[in-house]
Amino acid sequence: MSTGPAGRDIRPAGDAIIRAMRVFGLTGNFGSGKSTVAAMFRQAGIPVLDADRISRDVTAPGGLAYDAVVREFGREILLDDGSVDRGKLGEIVFSDPVRRTRLEAITHPSILEAMKAAIGKLSRKGYRAAIVEAALILESGRKGLFERVITVRCDGETQLRRVMARDGISRDEAAARIRAQMDAEEKARGSDHVIDNSGDPEDTRRQVEQLARILLEM
C-alpha cells in the first residue's frame, strides 16, 4: 500500500472510502458482539460510523436512494407513513438474488456517498482515524474500501446463546441463522485484526484498547 506524507493513503480514488484520513472496517457475524466492540472503540477515541444506520437514512423518505427503491420495488413496500418496510423489502430480496443485486446497485452508491460525507466531517474535526461498522464487508467484496479490516468473533456456544437471547428464538432457529452467514473462522482469516469477544467484557476491552493504540499510531 502506498502512502504519502504523514501516512495519508494515496491509493487511487474508488479503492478507498476517503483519502484524507485512515478508515478501518469493523465486521462480525450475528451474536459476535460487534456493536459492543464498536462502543469500546468510541470510548478509546476512534469514532465509529454504523453502515446499517446510514443505509436506513438513505432509504428513508427524502433520502438519496428512497425514490429509486420505491420505483424499483413498488409502493407495496411502504408503511402507512411512507417509510420503507425493511422487513417486507428483506423478504423480497433475500428470496430473489437478482432483486437483491438490483437493490444493492441502487443503494450502495448512495451509502458510499453518505459515508464519505460523514468521514469528511470527522476529518475536518481533526480525527486521524475512523471505523465503519458493517456486517458484510468481506461477503460483499468491499475489503478494499478500508485500510484494514477488524473482525469480532466469539466461540460458537456463546454466539448461539447471544442470538437466542437477542432475537427470542429457539436454538435450532439461531443455529440456522448463523449457518446462513459466512463461516466465522473464514471471516477471521480474511481480516487483518481479530477481536475475540468470547470472554468477559474487560478482556475484550483490553484487546480493543491495545488495537486502538496501534491504529492511532500508524
User: What is the domain partition of the chain in residue ranges?
Assistant: 19-47+129-218, 52-126
Q: Is the dihedral of CA 165, 167, 173, 179 positive or negative?
A: negative
Give the model's pLDDT for residue 4: 32
Helix (H, G, I), strand (E, B) or coil at 62: coil
Mean pLDDT, rounded, for 120-132: 93
Q: How far is CA 55 from CA 50, 127, 197, in A?
A: 9, 23, 26
Averaged pLDDT, 89-107: 87
Distant-in-sequence, close-in-space partners of 141: CB < 8 Å, separation ≥ 6 = none
Q: What is the mean pLDDT of the chain?
A: 87
- 185 phi/psi in degrees, rounded to 5: -70, -35
Q: Each residue of 128-145: pLDDT tens digit?
A: 899 999 988 998 888 998
Out of 7-11, 93-97, 104-108, 150-154, give the one with best mean pLDDT: 150-154
User: Which segments of the chain does DSSP mark as H helices, in order?
Assistant: 34-43, 51-58, 66-73, 86-94, 97-124, 156-167, 171-179, 184-189, 201-217
The pLDDT of residue 19: 55
Average of per-residue pLDDT across 61-73: 95
Return the pLDDT at 7: 34
Predicted local distance difference test score (pLDDT) of residue 11: 35
Determine the pLDDT at residue 1.
31
Q: Which residue has the higher pLDDT, 14 or 40?
A: 40
Per-residue pLDDT, 26:
97
Q: What's the fold here for domain 19-47+129-218?
A: Rossmann fold (3.40.50)
pLDDT at 17 over 60: no
Q: What percent of the chain has pLDDT over 90?
A: 64
For residue 3, pLDDT beyond 80: no
Q: Is the pTM of this model over 0.85?
A: no
Tell which phi-psi region holds residue 152, choosing left (phi > 0), alpha (psi between -120 and 50) or beta. Answer: beta
Q: Is residue 16 predicted with pLDDT exceeding 60?
A: no
What number is the average pLDDT over the span 134-157?
91
